[in-house]
Amino acid sequence: MLSYGPACGVPVVFAQSVIRPRDAKQPERKKGGHTIPCCRPPGPLPSSPFEYMAPKNPKGGRSAIIIGASSGIGEALAKRMARAGYRVALVARREAELQRVAEAINRKDRKLATIYPHDVTKFEEAPKLFQQIVHDLGGFDTIVYCSGVMPPVAKNEYSFQKDQQVFAVNVLGAMAWLNEAATRCERQESGTIVALGSVAGDRGRKGQPVYCASKAALASYMEGLRKRLGHRGVRVVTIKPGPVSTPMTEGLKMPFMISADEAANQIFRALNRTRTTAYVPIIWWPIMTAIRCVPSWLFRGKDI
């Protein structure tokens, strides 16, 4: 039988009873001379459990925080979410580029985008800035971590300086922001936490071993958050794009490459479904499923 938990309004299942806030009016029915609470709540039943998972935003509407919104997938996703009516907080290092994106989003009659210049490698700044953004938005529904770097690496190059930069941006920056989001989402028992991984994180590649390792680490981190927060009404979604035409991939020729706008459209559709991991485009799902099954001794001999 469908009922409602007292904390967040998410439908839950009980066998014979229902827990309600003390001040809530409970419908009653007669059985065997005794009055007992009715297990069905008043009013229409929800069409989907996710109908009740959006946090109550006192300013109304939906809102999203997008880290890495100054270019590429982050920029395209910010524009796509704004077209859907989201108010978006744009976070990135380059203030001029953020301003350009915000000007493309905002209308004369309605301001949907606000910019927050920030370097994701300055981890100590994330908690305070996160709280400021949440206050300015009046809450938030979704946070998306899009920041990422993939510096060029020569065939026989082993640069710890580059490796450190990759992990600082791709992994530690994500943890600094998404830990803050996880704390709030767990408390409010709602919200969606999203990170952009990569198909490169599914297996190690000789061309970019550290980039692959960073995306594998991010995917494992997101899986851990999902196991920790899933039962609290919080969605944790890992997006695994294949090659996307962005400044990071400029000059590279890769299979099944799509535009940043198309990637944003597919990511947005994935966020409106119940997926926990989404390959973008979907063709990479069967490809990577097969590649993950290749034994290590055989994979070592492949020129990838």
Marked catalytic residue, from 86, 211, 221, 279: 211
Backbone angles phi, psi at 172, to 5 degrees: -65, -35
Q: Using an 8 Å Cβ cutoff, are 90 and 69 in contact? A: yes
Sheet holding 113-117, edge to edge: 113-117, 87-92, 63-67, 142-145, 192-196, 235-241, 277-280
What DSSP designation does 199 have? G
Separation of alpha carbons 281 and 260, rounded Å: 11
* End-to-end C-alpha distance for the chain, whole angstroms: 52
DSSP notation for 38-59:
-SSPSSPPPS-GGGG-S---TT
Q: Are strands 28-31 and 34-37 parallel, antiparallel or unpaired?
A: antiparallel
Whether 158 sits among the annotated catalytic residues: the reply is no
- Helix 260-271 and helix 72-83, axial crossing angle in degrees, nearest 10: 50
Q: Which residues are catalytic?
A: 211
